[in-house]
A = this chain, B = another copy of it.
Amino acid sequence: MQPISTNTLLEALHWRYATKKFDATRKIPEGQWMAIEQSMVLSPSSFGLQPWRFVVVQNREILEKLPAISWGQTQPVECSHYVVFAYRRDMTVGDVDRFVARIAEVRAVSLESLEGYRNFMLGSHKLALESGTLNEWCARQVYLAIGETMTAAALLGIDTCPMEGIERAKYDSLLGLEAEGYSSVCSVAFGYRSEEDKHAALPKVRFSRADVVQYV
C-alpha cells in the first residue's frame, strides 16, 4: 500500500466539520459513494462480529418525514446520501454462528477448526448478556464504524454531519429496523457543504493536546 503524507491527512481532518447546511444540488458520484459504503463494510469491530446495519435512505417520502423526528434538522433532505447507523439488538448465539460460518466460507476452513474462536466469542457474549451490557457493546462498535467512515469521507473530500439528535424509536419504526432486530444510534449525512453554511468558516474548537493527551 502507498501511505499518504501526514499533511494530506491533517489537512483533511482540519477541513472536516459537522456540516449544517448541504448543497442540495450536488450528488456524490457513484464510484465515490461505493468507496464510502466499503469503508463502512471494512470497519473494525470487536472480534470482527460486525453487529450492525447501515441504512441508506433514498426514498423521498421517507426522507421528508425525517426532519420532524430529527430535532428539526434539515440535513436529511438536503444532503446527498443519508445513512442511519444501527446496531444489532440483543445479539444471539445465532448471530455469532453466522459470523463463524462466514469466516469458514471466506477463509475456506472447517467449522471445527473455528470451535476455539467460537467459544471465545461466546464467552464474551455471555458475560455481556449477563451484565446487561450486550446492547451497549454493540452500539459502541457502530461508533467505531462512524468514526472510520467520517474520516474516510473527509479524505475523499466529502462532507459529513453526524446526527445524534434523532428520535431513535421513531426512526426504528419508520425504517423497519425494529421489526428486523436493529436499533438506530446515530445517523450521518454525506454530501457537499453549501456555500451559505457559515459554520464552515468557524475555527475548529479543540482542547489543547496537553489537555487530552497524557503521557504516563
Interface of A toward B, CB cutoff 8 Å: 1-4, 6, 8-16, 18, 31-32, 34-35, 37-44, 46, 48, 50, 52-59, 62, 99, 102-103, 106-107, 136, 139-141, 143-152, 155-157, 162, 164, 175-176, 185, 202-207, 209, 212-216
Contacts and interface: CB of A to CB of B under 8 A. Distances in A.
B213 A56 contact: yes
B10 A212 contact: no
Give the copy number. Answer: 2
Given A54-B214, A107-B203, A143-B147, 6 more contacts: A1-B157, A41-B207, A52-B212, A53-B212, A102-B205, A144-B146
Contact of A3 (B50, B136, B157, B209): B157
Contact of A164 (B8, B35, B42, B46): B46
16 contacts: A3-B155, A4-B12, A6-B35, A6-B156, A9-B155, A10-B42, A13-B148, A16-B42, A38-B209, A41-B213, A46-B164, A53-B212, A107-B205, A143-B147, A145-B147, A151-B151
Given A59-B216, A162-B44, A13 B39 contact: yes
